[in-house]
Every structure is written in C-alpha cells, then in structure tokens.
C-alpha cells in the first residue's frame, strides 16, 4: 500500500509512467506469492490510488488477465492439460454431431415433410458417419425409407 502511494506521487502527470508503475505493482503481488483473492483485494486499493484513463485501464486489465492466465497455467500438470484438451475436443465433436443431426432433420423436412418422432430419435442417436451417409442419400432418395435403408438393400 505504501508502494502504491509512493508510485502515485512519482508518476503524477505521466499516464505512461503511472501505467507501468501500476502494472509493476500488480505483477509484484503475483511474484511474492500472494493468493489470487488477496491480489484482487490489494488491486482495489492500487486501482484507486493509481487511477488511469479508461483506454489505458482497459489495456492494463487485458495485460493483467493474460499474466494471470500464464501464471495459472504453470500449475496445471501435463495430465490435466491433456484431459482438458480431450474434454474440449469431445465437446466440439458433440456440437458438430448435434449440428449435423439438425441439418439432416431440416433436409428431411424440406424433402419429405415433418419427420416422425422415431426418425428424430434415430438422428439424435446416430454417429457422425451415419449422419453423413444418410445426408448423401437424402439427395437421391424417393422416400424417407430409402434414406435409412440398410446398405445391403438397393
């Protein structure tokens, strides 16, 4: 708190110097090992004492958030990063599958009318490969049954 007050006096009249002083104080809180919640509490005081114009304040917050993310990532093990990545990939795949099912449902509706509930359920439970296969069939099928016919039937 004393450092913040001294920096405020030293940087009076220079927004660039005040920005650097404020950023330096915040980073020093991280380096000293303060808990994140303590840093936020001290930041409120620093923010009040070393006020910046809105544009510089936004820039500072962006830099602090990036610094905070980098610091937190150091403590995430490679196993945790791998698990997070797999979770994200699985979520993306599920989202793509949901989108494929919705698009196929719209194509079926456009071509054959509103699909019955059993077709909607089948679309929701299908693999991405099945959905792609059925989507290609929608283009040439004369009936809804032809879209879902087993491959052995012609």
Give the distance from CA 6 to its chain's centroid.
Answer: 39
Q: Given this model, what pLDDT does residue 141 score?
A: 92
| Distance, CA of 81 to CA of 77 (rounded, Å) | 6
Alpha-carbon separation of residue 41 from 23, 44, 49, 79, 154 (angstroms): 15, 5, 13, 32, 71
Q: Where are the domains of the chain?
A: 2-74, 78-148
| Predicted pLDDT at 131 | 92
77: its two tokens: 């093990």
- Residue 80: the pLDDT is 63
Contact 29/47 with Cβ under 8 angstroms?
Answer: no
pLDDT of residue 79: 63
Burial 29-46 (b: 16+ CB within 10 A, else e): beeeeeeeeebeebbeeb
- The Cα 143–Cα 63 span in angstroms is 59
Give the 3-state secondary structure of residue 58. Answer: helix
Low-confidence ranges of the chain (pLDDT < 70): 71-81, 152-154
Predicted local confidence at residue 104, as pLDDT: 93
Residue 153: the pLDDT is 55
| pLDDT value of position 147 | 93
């Amino acid at each position: 708190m004393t450092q913040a007050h001294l920096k405020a006096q030293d940087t009076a009249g220079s927004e660039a110097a005040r920005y650097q002083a404020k950023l330096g104080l915040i980073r020093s809180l991280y380096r000293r090992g303060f808990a994140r919640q303590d840093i936020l509490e001290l930041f409120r005081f620093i923010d009040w004492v070393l006020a910046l114009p809105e544009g510089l304040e936004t820039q500072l917050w962006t830099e602090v958030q990036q610094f905070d993310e980098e610091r937190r990532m150091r403590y995430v093990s490679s196993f945790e990063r791998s698990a997070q990545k797999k979770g994200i990939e699985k979520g993306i795949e599920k989202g793509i599958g949901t989108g494929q099912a919705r698009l196929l449902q719209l194509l079926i509706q456009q071509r054959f009318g509103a699909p019955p509930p059993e077709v909607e359920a089948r679309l929701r439970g299908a693999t991405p490969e099945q959905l792609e296969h059925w989507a290609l069939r929608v283009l040439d099928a004369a009936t809804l049954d032809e879209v879902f016919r087993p491959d052995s039937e012609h």
